[in-house]
Structure 1
Amino acid sequence: MSAAKTKQNISLNQLPPGKNIPGTAIVVDAFKYRNPDFLYFLSHFHQDHYGGITKNWSDGPIYCSQITARLLRHVLDVPEQYIKSLPQNEPVDLNAECRVTLMDANHCPGAHVLIFDVKTDESVKRYVHCGDMRYEARMKCWPSWFRDGALVDVETVFLDTTYCNPRYKFPKQDVVTAADDTPPLAQAQRRTLFVVATYTIGKEKVLHEISTACGDLCIYTSPDKKEILNLLDLPYANIFVREPRESSVHMITWGKLGEMVPGGWRFLPNWGFAQEYLDWANSLLSDDVPKFTHLAGIVPTGWTWEFQKQHGTGSLFHCTMKPGQEHLCIYEVPYSEHSNFEELREFVEFLKPARVVPTVVGKSGNAGKLAGYFRDLVDSRKSFQLGFNDLFAGEWTFNFS
């Protein structure tokens, strides 16, 4: 991160919306904004959230999950003294005024929803920062939502609004991985090379499902990526191997197979890379081993769903072939690690906060429109009281128990 992109001595009121937990010096995923008085939290290890952290970080401790702490050390070489790992599902007192609890966000390994309980002059207010999250109904059963059998009031939800639009209704993850029209992986163990696009971390569950569907087939990944996978506490870490000749399913860096075209969310394949990769994989095989005749790329992302719906495809998996070279194809798979629109509404309806603050606004900057999608779900009584209770003072006892 260059110095030009990092802002020094920023005050809390200069931060973008969704970065600061009200009434505290806590900032979440705001490492481009430096102030030695800030208390920094990292929700998960994706570049658009940790941007601003380098090996020269010295602006105070970074609070994060245990997996994310390992990645900060291994990938970014952040000094140990600035990394503060926190347990999952265990409340931690940051100071006399604030407690935090981490809940699995069902996003990438180490990603967590951050629940802050903040002492004010007359009460304890709860703020829920989602970072990036794929909501599932099981999250309603998390014990820390409740106290004495009742749901704890939530002041504000800082919501992952990546797919905050009614048109984004892509399937649940288990529906995608269990689909009957899954690409014929098990029927093409050696003659078709499957290449799966993934981030530095994320989408590991897709690889696990592929391995299981193919009879516990191992998955090739680069040595550098294998070192990262070993840090993630994956119960299926043994499926990943460093030798490309051991598997017909390879994991590659996101963006190599192509890119999404902004506007229509259409995927633009990189056929040149696909052919080069197929040739490289075949060059490693000895003469007595059958060569790969086809390459099938797999691109798992929720963005492809809108394109598939618009074009009326009957399959969950939209397949594009290179004209004149049908041995190359790309499967666009609507597997997302962000919540779809209906899941966002279900989550907000469950918590019934006083307000919703979108954390992903986009170029339009229209946070008000995004928040408006949840206006019928927030607690209107609490919304009215926001900013009103502060006019009054009272004696009370702060008790987290």
Structure 2
Amino acid sequence: IGTPFTVDAFKYGAVSGCAGYFLTHFHYDHYGGMSAKFEGTVYCSEVTAKLVRVKFGQSISLVPLPTNIFIRIHDYDILLIDANHCPGSVMILSRLPNGKINLHTGDFRAHANMLEAPCVLADFVQNDLSNQRIDTIFLDTTFCAPQYAFPEQDLAIAAAVEISREALLRHPNALVLCGMYTIGKERFVVSLAEQLEARVWLPTKQRSLVVAAAEGGCEVCHRLRLRTVANPSEALIHVVDMGQLNPRAVLATFVPTGKPIIAWKPSGWMYNPCKRVTDATLRRLPCTSETFLRLRHCVSVEMIAKTVYVFGAAYSEHSSFTELKAFITKLKPMQVQPTVFGGAAREARKHIDGWLRSDETTDTSLDKY
């Protein structure tokens, strides 16, 4: 980010000349390499600091930073912005001594509020009145391809709620399962619980992190904590590890119970509106075929085994292709550095270069989540 700091680079150990180590959020692919013996100074959000303490204890030198306030660190002005990814996730805006401004998005789900006052990024939207411009954006390009035009989070949640309601009318004694990672998908779970007026059971690992995030100021985790019960028999919704919802695990764990189960896998990777669904599958659904077909841009059928139904929900905590395009065309930085590599990186680079060359600055596809 043009500073003597590193971002999410813990797997490299001690970095020569590094004045501080920034952590954008508490996902393993970003904090991997950190341990209780890590000796550098770690800067992160207040929520992420709580999560790091749960995992690694008190030995790490942590500096929790507030959001939306510039903080001077080693002659650099640093400001954290909510990244709308998982609890505690932030983007990092850095103002260099030479006046240049850089933005590291970490992992993020772009939405319109990021580019509107009072968010500081509103000052960098390019229009006839602009007098500031971001030099470099380090961009999360996880879904930087046109086929990833998945819906807003609220639409995916509403679709899951509607199908769950119909399924529960057919199977009143059913259990609803929601896949989660160690941290992430809390908004999906709590929204489902609130709209179904249901209680939630969390495994020990997730429960301790949700409690810590709530104590750190995460409003979504606070809402989820209020819905959580200790006794699983009192909860309609059970959170499970996402890996427990693969076909082999479902057949081994859930089908033998004989209990009707409505399971949800919320992820941008579940977006597949053209996936073929046979008439036989439609007849076996726990909702009407009309409901499913109307909502198929938000949901998919992953598996049906007896009365166990596994659905995908196109609920992403990364930006869609259209949201990335709107974010970049509105800010028009001098340059963009993708932070996701691999086979799709070259295609992402071509799209981004096209956005930077375009005269378009009025893309309206960046909607509020």
TM-score (norm 2): 0.82
Q: Deviations over 1:159-203 (max 9, x none)?
A: 110101111111110111123743226536851111111011110
Q: 1:271 to 1:380 in 2, by over 3 A?
A: closer
Q: 1:352 to 1:183 in 2, by over 3 A?
A: same
Map residues 45-194 of structure 1 onto 2, 5 A cutoff: 45-58=26-39, 60-77=40-57, 79-80=59-60, 82-96=61-75, 98-120=76-98, 124-141=99-116, 142-146=118-122, 150=130, 152-179=132-159, 181-184=162-165, 187=169, 191-194=173-176
Matched residue of 1:178: which SS?
A: helix
Q: Which structure dedicates a bigger proportion of its chain to helix?
A: 2
Letter in 1 for 2:263: G
Task: Determine the C-alpha separation between the residues in 1 that align with 2:327 and 2:228.
Answer: 34
Which range is displaced more, 370-379 or 225-234? 370-379
1:230 and 2:196 correspond: no
Q: Alpha-carbon deviation of 1:63?
A: 0.5
Match of 2:259 among 293, 317, 327: 293
Contact map agreement 1:317 1:334 (CA 8 A) in 2: yes
Q: Alpha-carbon deviation of 1:380?
A: 8.6
Which range is displaced more, 164-173 or 325-334? 325-334
Contact map agreement 1:257 1:274 (CA 8 A) in 2: no
Match of 1:244 among 232, 240, 265: 232
Q: Which runs of 5+ in 1 are unaligned?
A: 1-20, 259-267, 280-291, 382-401
Match of 1:204 among 170, 186, 209: 186
Letter in 2 for 1:164: C
Match of 1:218 among 193, 199, 221: 199
Task: Determine the C-alpha separation between the residues in 1 that align with 2:358 and 2:4.
Answer: 27
Task: Determine the C-alpha separation between the residues in 2 that align with 1:172 and 1:146.
Answer: 21
Matched residue of 2:261: which SS?
A: strand
Query: Percent of pairs identical after alignment?
Result: 29
Give the alignment's Cα RMSD to 1 decimal: 2.4
Larger Rg: 1
Contact map agreement 1:257 1:273 (CA 8 A) in 2: no
Matched residue of 1:83: which SS?
A: strand
Q: Which runs of 5+ in 2 are unaligned?
A: 215-220, 278-291, 360-369
Instruction: Tell which has more relative contact order, 1 or 2 (C-alpha 8 A, sep 6+).
Output: 2
Q: Deviations over 1:306-340 (max 9, x none)?
A: 3x424378323222444xx4211201111010001
Task: Determine the C-alpha separation between the residues in 2 that align with 1:303 and 1:223.
Answer: 26
Matched residue of 1:72: which SS?
A: helix
Q: 1:269 to 1:355 in 2, by over 3 A?
A: farther
Contact map agreement 1:57 1:78 (CA 8 A) in 2: no
Letter in 2 for 1:227: S
Match of 1:318 among 296, 300, 304: 300
Contact map agreement 2:182 2:205 (CA 8 A) in 1: no
Q: 1:151 to 1:301 in 2, by over 3 A?
A: farther
Q: 1:151 to 1:28 in 2, by over 3 A?
A: farther
Contact map agreement 1:107 1:338 (CA 8 A) in 2: yes
1:7 maps to which residue? none
1:9 maps to which residue? none
Contact map agreement 2:115 2:122 (CA 8 A) in 1: no
TM-score (norm 1): 0.76
Letter in 2 for 1:209: S
Match of 2:21 among 17, 29, 40: 40
